Amino acid sequence: MALTNDILMRVCISHFLSAWNSRIFEYSAVLFLASIFPGTLLPPSVYALWRALSAMFLAPAMGRQVDRTNRLVVVRRSIVFQRAAVACSCALFVAMILLNAGAASTSMLIKAGFIAILSAFACVEKLASIMNTVSVERDWVVVIAGSSSEDLQRLNSIMRRIDLFCKMAGPLAISFLIGFTVLGSVWALLFLNVVSVFVEYFTIARVYKLVPALATRTAGIERDEVSDVQGVGLLASDNDDGTISPTPASPLSTYIHHDLFLPSFALSFLYFTVLNFGGQFVAYLLAVGYSPSVIGVLRTVSVLFELSATWAAPILMKNIGAVRGGMWFINWQAICCIAAAVAIYHSGSPSADDVPAESTDKFLFVFASKATAALVFAVVCSRVGLWGFDLCAQFLIQEGVEAESRTAFSSVESSFQNFFELLSFASTIIFDKPAVFAVPALLSTNSVVVAAILFAVYARRVRKHLLHLPSMSGFFGRKATTVAQETVIRQELNDEV
């Protein structure tokens, strides 16, 4: 069916509320922990590590729930569990602030207990978020778009813009609120979650009713159930005529042997990074003297750059194809990350003591050194490459993965993404001092370079060549490989396999 404005509006409302609450909680949890345990990257890193561990091991189980459960039921469950986990976390943050849990006089056992309980709630929130993401972004949008590639690209771009707007506006708002009152910001977060859950719950139900195709399932459910019973790997069963025929592979085997494994795995590698405005980089900036409000502004600038990718990527995909567009974006990100690693290496590992007290109140131009300014600039510029590549890779996966394998593929992909994210958290647990932050930054740069190499291998396989030097008329005259042509090439490769 056609993508009507009514359907689009309700999908956007539901996705906005989900992304808004998720982004605010993800960002504010780091700031809360940093304010309770100042001067160290360890508590935020441990918290994030357990969150990523749960996702890495349990994401396939979330994918099976998406496969086997009614689409509306599974999304509603994800909404309720996600909001409940955030509410419980907020209650615990209030207790930690009131009890001054980060004080030197507080025993390590009590501190560890608080972090352990917070991490448990974070695991529930993360798993519910994965269930929602796999269900809506990798399943619902494809069904809603139907056979229209243009509608699918439009939905992908709009949902990414919503994600990035929430990533920009939500943390900026909470950063300024924390600057006035940490305890008040916790209560505000709790209130937002409680109010929005009801709107999300009923809005997504309306989308389900407006799109009858969402009520149907493919034969992939039965095949997935057989795979669970018979074990992992490519199996065989007896036919009536005595011959042996293969049974469906496990989700992991399906993922690894799929033609789109390389672009998906390359995208997963990008999750091993501290060169973003996530928890580790924010904790580093706080440790070297940046105020939460300044970090909020810098993060906003970063998101504005990211938003530009949601307009640039569809234009590039339309004119030069998703594969070649992905090459452009991933190489740009690699160049920027290399520049960031060089900048942080030459920054001299500044500490908060190096920054004059009065300079921390300046609005935007608070840099410990020129090298630190170059670091922030390179990180901001790299985000264009990341999100542009994300959109290109996601389009390739949505178009190329069969409907019966979609959720299994996405859940295993999510596990790998969380595995690499876990490695990034482990890097700042091992190197938890701001003075050695250059080591995690270098590891992150290497991860981006590896991702670029993996995608180059895939591009070489699909396009039969790697370097392409067209004339300008080739770019605007559509002589380059288009999205439709790439789809035909991928189909031919699948037929060969």
pLDDT digit string (tens) for 88-131? 999 999 888 888 877 777 778 888 888 899 999 989 998 898 88
Indicate the angle between helix axes 71-98 and 182-210, nearest 10 degrees. Answer: 180
pLDDT at position 242 is 47
The CATH 1.20.1250.20 domain(s) of the chain lie at: 1-216, 251-497
Least confident of 22-31, 183-192, 257-266, 281-290: 281-290
pLDDT at position 27 is 79
Residue type for position 345 = Y
Query: What torsion, rounded to 10 degrees, do the Cα atoms 482, 486, 488, 492 define?
Result: 150
> Residues near 63 by Cβ (< 8 Å), separated by ≥ 6?
134, 251, 407, 408, 410, 411, 412, 414
CA neighbor of 190 nearest in space, from 86, 115, 96? 86
CA neighbor of 17 nearest in space, from 165, 187, 175? 165
Q: How far is CA 88 from CA 142, 193, 196, in A?
A: 34, 11, 16
CA neighbor of 136 nearest in space, from 120, 154, 159, 169? 159
Least confident of 143-157, 195-209, 251-265, 343-357: 343-357
Select the more confidently predicted residue: 480 or 447.
447
Q: Alpha helices of 248-369 — where are they, by DSSP H?
A: 251-257, 261-269, 279-287, 292-320, 322-345
Name the pLDDT band for 388 (thresholds 50, 70, 90): very high
φ and ψ at residue 237, rounded to 5 degrees: -140, 155
* Average confidence (pLDDT) over 288-303: 77
Distance, in Å, from the CA atom of 221 to the CA atom of 63, rounded to the nearest integer, reads 11
CA neighbor of 375 nearest in space, from 408, 340, 328, 346? 340
Q: Are 384 and 305 in contact (CB under 8 A)?
A: yes
Query: What torsion, rounded to 10 degrees, do the Cα atoms 116, 117, 121, 127 define?
Result: 30
> Residues near 171 by Cβ (< 8 Å), separated by ≥ 6?
23, 24, 27, 28, 277, 296, 299
pLDDT digits 0-9 by tens, 393-449: 988 988 888 877 777 788 788 888 878 988 888 888 888 787 888 899 999 999 999
Select the more confidently predicted residue: 304 or 294.
304
Select the more confidently predicted residue: 389 or 137.
389
481: β partners: none
Does the pLDDT at position 147 exceed 70?
yes
Structure tokens that stand for 75 in this block: 């999304």
| Burial grade of 108 (CB within 10 A; 0-12, 13-18, 19 or more) | exposed
> Residues near 176 by Cβ (< 8 Å), separated by ≥ 6?
292, 293, 296
Does the pLDDT at position 477 exceed 70?
no
pLDDT digits 0-9 by tens, 25-68: 887 887 888 788 876 767 877 887 788 788 778 877 887 777 78
* Average confidence (pLDDT) over 154-176: 79
Distance, in Å, from the CA atom of 483 to the CA atom of 318, rounded to the nearest integer, reads 7
Select the more confidently predicted residue: 39 or 379.
379
Q: Which CATH class is domain 1-216?
A: mainly alpha
pLDDT at position 121 is 92
pLDDT at position 379 is 92
Classify domain 251-497 at the CATH topology level.
Growth Hormone; Chain: A; (1.20.1250)
pLDDT at position 105 is 77
Distance, in Å, from the CA atom of 166 to the CA atom of 10, rounded to the nearest integer, reads 17
Name the pLDDT band for 2 (thresholds 50, 70, 90): low
pLDDT at position 417 is 87
pLDDT at position 369 is 61
Residue type for position 110 = I
> Taking the model in full, what pTM does it have?
0.63
pLDDT at position 98 is 86
Name the pLDDT band for 496 (thresholds 50, 70, 90): very low
Top-confidence range, 2-16, 338-352, 371-385, 443-457: 443-457
Does the pLDDT at position 455 exceed 90?
yes
pLDDT at position 101 is 78
* Average confidence (pLDDT) over 318-326: 89
Mean pLDDT of the chain: 78
* Average confidence (pLDDT) over 217-231: 41
pLDDT at position 266 is 94
pLDDT digits 0-9 by tens, 236-277: 444 444 444 444 567 788 888 888 899 999 999 999 989 988
pLDDT at position 480 is 46
pLDDT at position 359 is 41
Distance, in Å, from the CA atom of 193 to the CA atom of 191, rounded to the nearest integer, reads 5
SS3 103: coil
pLDDT at position 362 is 39
Q: What percent of the chain has pLDDT over 90?
A: 15
